[in-house]
Amino acid sequence: MKISNAPVSYQTHVRPAQVRDMIRHCTALQAAYDRLASATIQHPQYFLDVSAQPDWRVVAMQWPSQPEVTAFREAALNNHFVCANWKPFDQLQGEAYRSREALLQGRPLVPMEADFPWLRRFIHSVVTWERDKADPCPPTLRVAAANQGWTLVASALQQELKAFVSGDDPGTELGR
């Protein structure tokens, strides 16, 4: 994936079909996490243990090899959610653009007032962080583990899409 060659800027508009594709990939990424987490609980050693927790080390080791992870990164790049000229959240000022650590742990993942530019910058930040730094628990995994994180992002994107597509014109584009 060549983010450095991404020919988009924050002014590049996104078509509704591209947003739908990102919604599909966010949902698939969350499903991959749920599948991995439940597979570790279904191990025979946890049989009849209703309080069993997923084995996070196993999930983290298997996460990068999941096809949904690679497909998500490629879709983010192809659908204009990643740009070489953008800064990730931790390099921006303001409460809306929290640091990587604050964003990926503790507080609610997607703020109630998240608009399309925020969601686009969030996906850009997660993909950029994952590419820039080798982490035993990559950002895409940390978002998935954060209480259905990618499902929340997909829902917020769906709300923005619904708010935008009132005329159902397939040629229209979402703003920045």
* Residue 50, pLDDT above cutoff 60: no
Question: Token pair 């192809």 is at which residue?
Answer: 78
Mean pLDDT of 115-127: 89
Which residues are CB-neighbours of 83 under 8 A, at least 6 positions away?
Answer: 3, 6, 8, 9, 10, 12, 124
- Say whether pLDDT at 65 is over 90: yes
For residue 108 the two structure tokens come to 């609610």
Residue 171, pLDDT above cutoff 50: no
pTM for this structure?
0.81
Which residue, chain included where needed, has tokens 């917020």?
Answer: 156
pLDDT of residue 1: 42
User: 10-14, 86-90, 98-102: which has the highest mean pLDDT?
Assistant: 86-90
CA neighbours within 13 Å on the CB side: how many for 97? 15
End-to-end CA separation in angstroms for the chain? 23
Cross-strand bridge partners of residue 174: 14
Q: How confident is the model at residue 95 (pLDDT cuts 50, 70, 90)?
A: low
The chain-wide mean pLDDT, for the chain, equals: 79
